[in-house]
Every structure is written in C-alpha cells, then in structure tokens.
Amino acid sequence: MATTLLLVGTRRGLILAHSGDRRTWTLSPPRLEGREVFHAFRDERTGHLWAASSHRVWGSHVHRSTDGGATWATLESAPAHADGRGLEAVWRLAPGPRSRPDVLYAGIEPAGLFVTADGGASWSPVRGLNDHASRDTWQPMGGGLALTDIWVDPADPGALLAAISAGGVYRSDDGGVTWAPKNVGVRACFQPERYPTSGQCVHKLVPHPARPGRIYQQNHCGTYRSDDRGDSWTDITAGLPSDYGYALAVHPTDSDTAWVVPETSSHMRTVVDGRLRVFVTRDAGTTWTSQEAGLPQENAYVTVLREGLATDSLDPPGLYCGTSGGHLFASADGGATWRLIAGFLPRILCVGACNPPAAPGSAE
C-alpha cells in the first residue's frame, strides 16, 4: 500500500497526517504555528510542499518545504495588488505547466490572480483577469471577495481556469493574456438578474483530471457540471437536500463520480439537519446517494469549507473531510464508511491529500 499524506490547514497551523494503510494515522505537531493556513498542496513536479497562510500581526505569506514538511521557509515575497487593493489573504496556490516547475499561480483576496516564474521569489499580476472589464460585477460575499480556484490544463498549458467568489468562472485560452467569463446556465440567486454573464458566487471549481472538458462546480446557488470546458453548465442539484454548500471533490479516474457536502443555507452555513453527510454521484449528477456510515447524524452543526474535502489517487480512492469543529474524518473505501482520525484540532480550513513515492530504501 502506498503512503498517504494529508495536509490539514487549521486556524492555528498546518498538521501533517501520514498513513501506510489509510486506517492507522500519525499526526505531526502543528507546523507554521499560530497561522491560519488556507491552502496547502504537494507539487508533483518537484515534490515540494506549499502552503498559504495569514496572521493578524505578521500578515499573509507563502511557505515552501523541501523536506516533506519537517521544516518550512517563509518566502519574502507575496502576491499583492500594487494599488490600494493590497493583500488581505492568499486563498489558493496552484502549479503551472509540467515543463516549467518554477511557475506557480496564486489567487488572493481582494480578488486577483498572480504568477511567479522563479519559485515564489517574485510575483506578477495577471492583468487580463485582475483588470477585466467585468470587474465591476464582482462583489464580496460572506467569505470576502477572493479568487479561490486556479487550474492549468496539463494537456494545454495555455488553457487556464479561475473562479472568483463572487465573480464567477473565467477561462483563458492564451496563457492568461485574455479572459472570458464562463457562467452560462449558472444561477446568481442573490441578484436581480438570475443568470448574469458574470457575478456568480463560485464556492469550489474542480476540472476532472482524466477527462478534458469536464468540470464540476459547487456554487452558492447549486451544484453544476460542464462538459465543454465551461462554455455551458448543467444544474445537477436535484437529489441533494440543499442547493448550498462549499466542498466538492472528484474521483481521480472516473469522471462520472463526484462528492459534495450540502449545507443548510447562506445564513446557517452548517450541514443540513445537523447531520454530517457526504453525497456521491456515480452518473455525473443525475442521481445522488448519501454516504454517512461513521459520521455523526445528530446535533452535528458543523461546516465543511471549500477546501475541506479531498480525495487521494489510490484505488479505491480515499476521501478526507475536515470540519469547522476540528474533526478530521477519513474513508478508505470511496466514502462508503468513515472513521474519525482526530477530533480536537483547531477549526479546519483545508485538507489536501496526496500519495508521495516511498523514500529510497523504505519498506513501502
């Protein structure tokens, strides 16, 4: 069995969880102590770990580890608007093309996209999106106005996707020079115009790694699927107990399988009926089934944030869910059954899962 590594970002630092069988886990002490860690991931191009944090005194930073998370370097440079917008937080980090391992993207609040070509030593604004003509349709929602998702097409490095909350989905086909809103069919239930060109509140955007063109979206106003790289969207909310939620994850190889965690409403923002349930579709959103074995089914008024649900790359895939109450759950069978890994962590802001190769000479 391959090693599984979880990167668990909390309000008080980053915790690493390791397992060789996805049943027994070892948790590290908090790294980046005292910082809110909004996103963390392992860059498959280099093996480096990256994290984005915020601190009320020290501000927002990007961090890198080259030794599997044992130690972390805080980069001197952070992505920020040069004008009065500045930087409130770094919400998302994403790898660039496979052929350019020093290229990374960052999504920040106030909403903006930035790129580094030197491994984070310096950052440049992606002006085609940051200064887009539709920017006046973007507005802060409950979580602020932030660019929360970035994706570079591994088959076409010139194709990029970005999601803004609340601004909508945007796509570039020329490496980030120009951008177009891609929101046809997505509701903006909080606006007078229900289907505007832009201004939708995207909570989570996940292109499927094994099927070019297929994208899933968890929105403030429903769950959606696109089969044409975002040119149009199909509402697949029917069968879910709510049209509201944050978290979304996809099967690593089966593009018809995805998971969401429905929540009550934008006012309550906790799981429906106080029951922590992960819903799965195996037919691209036509039907949904609740997966709840091992999860609390009463008085569980917790939130699972947009980065709080993740899958690994094994078969069957493991699922990992972190809550606002500091509970970390894991499933080794695609969500059919769950077990609690840890129950007294700080508020969990993000969960990332990966399967790094075993170290030379290990027993793996």
Contact 233, 198 (CB under 8 A): no
User: Tell me, what's the pLDDT at 75?
Assistant: 98
**Predicted confidence (pLDDT) per residue in 90-109, tens digit:** 999 999 999 999 999 999 99
In the chain, which residues have pLDDT < 70?
A: 1, 359-364
What is the tally of structural domains in the chain? 1
* 359 occurs within a structural domain: no
Report yes or no on 89 lying in a domain: yes
In a domain, 203, yes or no: yes
On whether residue 76 sits in a domain, the answer given is yes
Nearest Cα to 92, choosing from 66, 71, 112, 122? 112
Domain annotation covers residue 26? yes
Taking only the tens place, the pLDDT of each residue in 136-150 is 999 997 778 999 999
Domain housing 26:
4-354
d(Cα 10, Cα 350) in Å, to the nearest integer? 7
H/E run at residue 127 = helix 127-130
Residue 363 confidence (pLDDT): 43
Residue 114 lies in a domain: yes
In a domain, 363, yes or no: no
**Angle at CA of residue 130, ends 129 and 132, nearest 5°:** 60
Assign residue 188 the CATH number of its domain.
2.130.10.10
Cβ–Cβ under 8 Å, residues 116 and 125: no
Residues 6 or more apart whose CB falls under 8 angstroms from that of 349 comprise 9, 10, 11, 36, 37, 38, 305, 307, 308, 322
pTM above 0.85, yes or no: yes
In a domain, 360, yes or no: no
